[in-house]
Amino acid sequence: MDFDAIFQALMLFLSLSFGGSDDNATDSADVLQEQPIVEETVEVSVESESTDQSAPNESGIVVDAISIFLDEQEDVQPPAPTQTETAAVFAARLALGHNHTCYLEGGEVFCWGSDYYGQTTVPAGLIDVNEISAADQNTCVLTPETMSCWGIDGWFTVPVSNGRSLSVGGFHVCFVEDEGVWCSRGGNQYGELEIPVDIHQPIQVAAGVTHTCALDANGVKCWGSNEFGETDVPPLDNPTQISAGGWFSCALDGAQVVCWGNNEFGQLELPSLVEPKAVIAGHNHACAIDRYGLQCWGRNAFDQAIVPSELAEVALVQPGTHHSCAVDASNDVYCWGFNGQGQTSVPSRATGSAGD
């Protein structure tokens, strides 16, 4: 806002309204300069000093000019979130494997549930962890300089350059770094590791069980298995976030959610969503955060798609195989669904206070 222009207009208005001398105008300026110059102060000053705004006089011209200026400022709308901003808001702090759960809070990783393959035994010495992801019996974390995994496939670590957007699939893991999309591990039986060469300025990557998708400057691309059409990306107008599930994929496309691929359990039968903010695909079910909260759909054999009634102001959500978890605005962790291995029994040390 051009405060100098507004200030000069006010000085002219005051001098014209009261017919004061230059000395009085100077005194008025001194008083105004001692107060914070904010939009609300300008509007109150004009309204309180004007005795007849409808009267056609010279000071009325000043008032009208200021009013028009302020009205123009009110009409300016903030820019829509960019792809990078939207994806970053939902960077992974929740990670759900087949029978385990992990949560990232303040750079510290907490895991619970099945530890048969050591997937919940957090290695010592992890520092500066930015993101966490899990699938099947593996857990992985990302720092600005390394990506590390542990679990059924043992310990694995690689150097990265400004790593971001970590995603673990069935047996493969992917992330974005300065050099592009990186994928590794797994047998590559379906080509899930064969990154297309035409990905330009990648923003996010999402690993499914046997397929992978990436969001770049030109849109969404998917590769790997396509038995159910999970890599056949439909026309999208403005994709800002993606997620890959078991054999289906979803995207936040402008003001709507679009899903494609396997629909055996109703994964593609979306509920009514109002101004959706994020969509996350699990193994055979999915969840979305919209204006009114959280909704889940798809397979519900263990009530994993039934959102707890006490959960409000959802900040993060992550559906898994047979269970789901979410974090509310108070950083409380909620988990529900199948609890055969303690995967929904949130420990108190993980900040959360809710669970089975």
Predicted structure pTM score: 0.75
pLDDT for 55 equals 36
**Per-residue pLDDT reduced to its tens digit, 204-234:** 999 999 999 999 999 999 999 999 999 999 9
Cβ–Cβ < 8 Å for 257, 279: yes
pLDDT for 182 equals 96
* CATH 2.130.10.30 corresponds to the domain 83-350: yes
Q: For residues 228 and 155, what is the distance between their CA atoms, to the nearest angstrom?
A: 33
**Per-residue pLDDT reduced to its tens digit, 126-169:** 988 999 999 889 999 998 889 999 999 899 999 999 899 999 99
- HSE (side-chain half, CA atoms, 13 Å) at 222: 31
pLDDT for 153 equals 86
pLDDT for 90 equals 53
Q: For residues 104 and 294, what is the distance between their CA atoms, to the nearest angstrom?
A: 20
The parts of the chain modelled with pLDDT lower than 50 are 1, 3, 5-7, 9-81, 84-89, 353, 355-356
Domain residue limits, the chain: 3-75, 83-350
Cβ–Cβ < 8 Å for 290, 317: no
pLDDT for 172 equals 94
pLDDT for 49 equals 35
